[in-house]
Structure 1
Amino acid sequence: MRILRTDIQILRAIAVLSVLVFHFDLPGLQKGFLGVDIFFVISGYLMSRVIIDEMDAGRFSPAAFYFRRARRLLPAAMAMFAVVTAVVPFALTMGALHDYVQQLLGALAFGANLVLWAQSGYFDGQATLKPLLHTWSLALEEQYYFVLPLALALIGRRWRAAGLVGLLVASLLACQWWLRRDPSGAFYLLPTRAWELLLGSVCALPGLSARLPHREGRSSIGFDSGWLWLPIMAWCLLRGVDSVHPRTDALLVCLSTAGLILQPSAMLQSTRPWMRPLQWIGDVSYSLYLVHWPLIALAKNIWLQKVPDTVLWALLGLSFVLAQLSYQHVEQRYRNLPTPRALLRQMVWLLVPLLLAMGALALHMHMHNHSQAGGVAQGQQPVYGFDARCDQEGDFEPLPACMNTPRPHTMVWGDSYAMHLIPALQASPPDGGVIQATRSACGPSLDMARQSPQDPPDRGQRCIQFNRSVLAYLRQHPEIDVVVLSGRWQYYLDDPVVDARGRFIHPGQHEIAASFARVVQQLKAMHKRVVLVSPPVLLGPDVDLGLCGQRAAQGLLTVMRTLQTHCAFERSLWETRQAKVNAMLTDAGQLADIDMIALDAFNCDDRHCVTVMDGVPLYRDFGHFSQDGARLLGLRMKLGQKLRASAR
């Protein structure tokens, strides 16, 4: 059974256009990503309406239901997978191709959201560069379709309303609980996003939803509900009220969608000519959602994120063209196939190109793994130091995996900018061995810490507690006579910062330097010698030096105004962009009376800085060294000996 409601087609158009405006960086909608939440409610309603009606009529067949879902969703997705898989070898680095393979296999197994969740994290590459990033929402819907018939059957007709509402509330509460502990998991996983689909399912309950034909009139409550719900939806899409997702804005936009489903709006059913384009967009919305994101992601790989406006507008137009082709020649061709056997016969025309593209991709990756560029995939791997366990979450623990001798004499203390010094010290070991005390996004301060909106609310306080536990450990181990401090000081200047009580503060350059000096004073009181290591030369998060270097090593097309041939850039550009940090580090060194090892001596001369040296990409992202780059740093600067000689 196919439900046709003009107002729902318009809602689909609003949803997909919101997503497109957001993804194409067009002005207007700060929260256009909420279009996906609109889709979730619509999908939950339509699928539940079909299942409930058929169950109540005694003719529901799980096999027939899943066949209809496969006939509707798989062909256009398979066509998109085939085309994108054929193109990615010419656009992605080897590390990104390894991630792409996992995403593709996850999407084919209806688990793309799980793969993307596993790939997310502090050290993960830019999500916006992943061509199949958008399949997370499709996978989540498909997982819901798998469990929904079983859930409705187990609940039974008598307890259907109470059961669905109970599941909705449980999922909503789980989402808010999980947001505080794992924002990425709360975003990607079905248990924490099911409440949006369940809201649509509740709307489909008999007696609650409006069982109205196509072209409904005004609602029974006496006024057009569009005047109530559409402004709420528009406000959420335009500005919103919350910086955390999915939370208040998602709830409001989902409730407004549900309200428009339950009380159909005459505003969304107009037959005026200017509404026809929206109806067409609603018709092609699935294909449009499928094809638009790979175009953006591939362009962002080539232009290193900042794609020119003219290119974005051209890609936007191309998205509509491809969507129409997909809708007309793929969706419509498969939509009315009568049997699974007929579907399988026709799917051969999509499976063969996809398998050929996957085979070509596998061959391409195999060949590059045995060439000079094959090492680039390793160059994109996270650099945790000795071991991934050295990115500690609780209080500091002297793990054997995080030291290279039982009684080390040197400690490296800081955040991820301290972690990437460890491969350099493995290549150029200091006398007496090294122990690593590190935590991501946690600089070595005892009274201030970064607290971004995406972090759990107590992350900053736990960072300060970690640093205090490091200090306590050092107090008990006099054999550690040299402490190396390193961090990304920029986030103290740019990001929200909290003190030890969790209160937000706004430290200035001198206050940050003074905080650092207090750490050094306590270390010197323990008779430790201290040395500061600067961050690497970088231009900021908007210029991915690692991606540029890796693309250059593979010979991939790269367009970036800021960077020169082979991803070099003028030293003055770095000095201008990092002037505040460099001044703060100079101030900190003077207050603490210690020396600083400036890493610009590694890859910069008086005029230029390089990101590729001896064919080795030095960076793994916008600022962290790659494994090979860090090793080269250690050898070129003789870092191990230099650290101990410079400590005082």
Structure 2
Amino acid sequence: MAYRPDIDGLRAVSVILVVGFHTFPEVFRGGYIGVDIFFVISGCLITSIIWLDLNFNKFNIINFYSKRIVRIFPALLAVLIFCLIFGWYLLLPNEYELLGRHIAAGSGFLSNIIYLNEVGYFDINSAMKPLLHLWSLGVEEQFYIFWPILLIIVWHRRWKWLLVIIFLVVGSFLLNIYYSFANPSFDFYSPLTRLWELLIGAFIGVWNQKNGGFLSFPRLERRIGVKFFENYQNFVISFFTLIGIFLMTLSVLYLTGDTRYPSWYALMPVLGAAFLLVLPKNSAGSKVLSHKGLVFLGKISYPLYLWHWPLLCFFRIVKGDQLGAGIKCIIIFASISLAYITYKLVEIPIQKNNQTGKTATLLLVAMTLVGSLGFYVAFEKGLINRPAIRDIVEMESALLSPQHFIKSDGSCDNTLQQPTLFPNVCIKNSNSPKIMIAGDSHAIALFGGIRNGKINESAVLYAGNGCLPLLNYVIQDNLVSRSWCLDYAANVLNTIDKMPSVEKVYLSTRGPVYFSGEGYGIEGKNKLSISRVNGNDNLSQEERFYLGYSSFIKQLIAKKIKVILITEIPELGEEPKNCIAKRPIFFFKKEASSCVQNKQDVLARKAKYFEIIERIKADNPDLDVYHGMNTFCDDISCYGKGSDGLWYWDDDHLSLVGSTKLLNDVLYKKSK
């Protein structure tokens, strides 16, 4: 396939949009569509190469994969090795452990699958994941694995290639629409729901190979004459150019980070890219895209995409707060510089090597080694014995991966006669538990002190991540009901029936975040809401919270169970690692946060929540209420740490130290 500088120009547009969105999202509001443009380009180029080789009967799948390795691995290896080394000196144990897991996933092009499985209540801020952007590389490489094989089958069996592509595009697009409502995270990360974007490019690639260009219609030219055909063609070229520019511009200006994406909205950038991709090389649009500056950025677009996000993340992690415009510009310049160096000194020398097979083998071995190192870092919990962080870990155990972030261990299966599947969690430490801890992920965090033996109680945990124990109501995320929450309250009641030894139930959940539409501090706004399971009662979110919770507690008490409601602890509003003065290295002089909040401010933002709790208490006189603030606040302030260490492991979940502290107060001091 002949080199097309305009495609490099379109690559440049893609990477400009992505980098712009990641650095200045207030300007490049929908800049993430750059990834969709990359998908269309990749689908077109790869399919063109394969189809051309099939045409000349010289396609070799081993050779194809070898060339892909030589093209993709060098820059990726450079970035992964950089992250491993930089993380060693920079990151705290829990951060380095997560990075190791992501390096292992990135080396196997499974990042999109890993990130999909990490999405949830305990997921950390995406801005703190240096390799998050590799999800798109995972989608592309998964496409490269199956697509050549399918094309070989289509070619040799002489299937109608157009019908095959249309069938796959329609199927993938319909899956995308369905999952945009049923499971938005799956829709975003899954290769099945992104396949149609790559296949739009594949359609262009095959058409070009079969017809000598997308806008080449020999039969039409013969039928209407050369002159009329040229006029028709010029009109179509102008139309395609304007529509392509319009759709891509509209995407950037109209879409935002809150848009349910990809869904229908991805049609805009995908079709916009497709319209520009089919332009002949002598058209005005193609000439603009062939500008030297754009072509230069297009040639380094792949390493630039790889470098910019880790640099942004590492700077955010070290600085501990938002980056200013000046630092962002420095990062962009550094990313372009590193991308050019990678392109010149790594990519070109390796790709010019004539021994493709041998080079690919060596690169594959190198990638396996790097992936293994990443796995080892994750397995060893972020290498807590690194000299640079050993003393920090000794002071702050909360900086390790949370020991209470757990899934069911099978201990409840025989009693319940079925497994409890994540995001729901059931664990018991005794065949005859005396107490139950129930609720959302705050209940899981609270159970940490018992599970780790800090508190000696026979207990069972039955929790639902992101679920409230509501009767007749369910938690929704972006107007989609969390399926695992639908029967959560009923499952808690059923578990109590099957564990008659339980005498007390301690309820621990978040509060206002479910009905107010926003969290505190770094959480910002959310898309959580409470909906009636059947129909709509036209009640406010607060009223649904009250009715669902109170009804559930009433049924618990009716079982002659003592119920203790632990009100929401004060959210920290920031990462607890900001509360320590030490980090392996600092690029910025920054005082540690005091992790102290004014108690009156906490009470003010939870005022509506406490009013609801009082109504629930009035409905259920036998209910005991323990205010979580009593453990972490005095008369003036609320605290995130004490002489025993950090009490939180993220902005609102308790650490092992914090859970032990709260359990001691709730179980033994019994103050209200």
Q: Residue 426 of structure 2 contacts residue 462 of structure 2 at CA under 8 Å; is this kept in 1?
A: no
Alignment of 1:127-276 (within 5 A): 127-156=126-155, 158-159=158-159, 160-179=161-180, 182-206=183-207, 211=212, 219=234, 221=236, 223-240=238-255, 243-264=259-280, 266-271=283-288, 275-276=291-292
Instruction: Say yes or no: does 1:611 pair with 2:640.
Output: yes
Task: Name the structure 1 match of 2:404.
Answer: 383
2-structure distance, mates of 1:135, 1:483: 43
Q: Residue 398 of structure 2 contacts residue 656 of structure 2 at CA under 8 Å; is this kept in 1?
A: no
- Cα distance per residue 1:172-222 (max 9 Å; x no partner): 344445555554344333333222212211111146877459xx9975736
Query: 1:35 deviation in Å?
Result: 1.3
1-structure distance, mates of 2:289, 2:165: 38
Alignment of 1:34-183 (within 5 A): 34-156=33-155, 158-159=158-159, 160-179=161-180, 182-183=183-184
The residue identity in structure 1 corresponding to 2:569 is: P
Q: Residue 539 of structure 1 contacts residue 574 of structure 1 at CA under 8 Å; is this kept in 2?
A: no
Instruction: Say yes or no: does 1:482 pair with 2:504.
Output: yes
Task: Name the structure 1 match of 2:223.
Answer: none
- Cα distance per residue 1:487-546 (max 9 Å; x no partner): 111222213321122649662546634543343344444444332102222144xx223x
The residue identity in structure 2 corresponding to 1:54 is: D
2-structure distance, mates of 1:613, 1:24: 36
Task: Name the structure 1 match of 2:219.
Answer: none
What secondary structure does 1:151 align onto? helix
Give aligned pairs, total: 628
Instruction: Say yes or no: does 1:470 pair with 2:503.
Output: no
Q: Compared with structure 1, are the counterparts of its residues 378 and 209 closer, same or farther at alpha carbon in structure 2 (3 Å cutoff)? A: farther
1-structure distance, mates of 2:28, 2:38: 17
Q: Compared with structure 1, are the counterparts of its residues 425 and 597 closer, same or farther at alpha carbon in structure 2 (3 Å cutoff)? A: farther
Q: Residue 390 of structure 1 contacts residue 437 of structure 1 at CA under 8 Å; is this kept in 2?
A: no
Q: Compared with structure 1, are the counterparts of its residues 219 and 536 closer, same or farther at alpha carbon in structure 2 (3 Å cutoff)? A: farther
1-structure distance, mates of 2:508, 2:105: 38
Which of 649, 656, 660 is residue 627 of structure 1 equivalent to?
A: 656
Q: Residue 380 of structure 1 contacts residue 621 of structure 1 at CA under 8 Å; is this kept in 2?
A: no
- Cα distance per residue 1:147-186 (max 9 Å; x no partner): 3222211122521333333333333344445555554344
TM-score (norm 2): 0.80
Query: 1:32 deviation in Å?
Result: 2.0
Q: Compared with structure 1, are the counterparts of its residues 81 and 564 closer, same or farther at alpha carbon in structure 2 (3 Å cutoff)? A: closer
What secondary structure does 1:244 align onto? coil
Instruction: Say yes or no: does 1:418 pair with 2:443.
Output: yes
Moved more, 28-37 or 336-345: 336-345
Query: 1:74 deviation in Å?
Result: 1.8
2-structure distance, mates of 1:580, 1:72: 57
Q: Residue 19 of structure 1 contacts residue 34 of structure 1 at CA under 8 Å; is this kept in 2?
A: yes
The residue identity in structure 2 corresponding to 1:641 is: Y
The residue identity in structure 1 corresponding to 2:393 is: A
Q: Compared with structure 1, are the counterparts of its residues 2 and 189 closer, same or farther at alpha carbon in structure 2 (3 Å cutoff)? A: farther
Query: 1:97 deviation in Å?
Result: 1.4
What secondary structure does 2:94 align onto? helix
What secondary structure does 2:115 align onto? helix
What secondary structure does 1:442 align onto? coil
Instruction: Say yes or no: does 1:14 pair with 2:16.
Output: no
Q: Compared with structure 1, are the counterparts of its residues 180 and 528 closer, same or farther at alpha carbon in structure 2 (3 Å cutoff)? A: same
Moved more, 260-269 or 484-493: 260-269
The residue identity in structure 2 corresponding to 1:146 is: I
Query: 1:33 deviation in Å?
Result: 1.6
Query: 1:79 deviation in Å?
Result: 1.7
What secondary structure does 1:142 align onto? helix
2-structure distance, mates of 1:559, 1:568: 22
Q: Residue 402 of structure 1 contacts residue 436 of structure 1 at CA under 8 Å; is this kept in 2?
A: yes
- Cα distance per residue 1:283-311 (max 9 Å; x no partner): 22112101100011112222445333432
TM-score (norm 1): 0.83
2-structure distance, mates of 1:237, 1:163: 32
What secondary structure does 2:460 align onto? strand
Query: 1:86 deviation in Å?
Result: 1.4
Query: 1:264 deviation in Å?
Result: 4.8
1-structure distance, mates of 2:460, 2:374: 44
What secondary structure does 1:420 align onto? helix
Task: Name the structure 1 match of 2:474.
Answer: 449
Task: Name the structure 2 match of 1:641.
Answer: 668
Query: 1:361 deviation in Å?
Result: 7.0
Q: Residue 107 of structure 2 contacts residue 371 of structure 2 at CA under 8 Å; is this kept in 1?
A: no
Instruction: Say yes or no: does 1:492 pair with 2:492.
Output: no
2-structure distance, mates of 1:248, 1:146: 26
Q: Compared with structure 1, are the counterparts of its residues 365 and 528 closer, same or farther at alpha carbon in structure 2 (3 Å cutoff)? A: closer
Unaligned runs of 5+ in 1: none
Q: Residue 10 of structure 1 contacts residue 279 of structure 1 at CA under 8 Å; is this kept in 2?
A: yes
- Cα distance per residue 1:69-118 (max 9 Å; x no partner): 23322222222222222111233221221221222122223333333334
Task: Name the structure 1 match of 2:385.
Answer: 367
2-structure distance, mates of 1:110, 1:398: 31
Unaligned runs of 5+ in 2: 215-229, 518-527
Instruction: Say yes or no: does 1:516 pair with 2:549.
Output: yes
RMSD: 4.2
Q: Compared with structure 1, are the counterparts of its residues 373 and 475 closer, same or farther at alpha carbon in structure 2 (3 Å cutoff)? A: closer
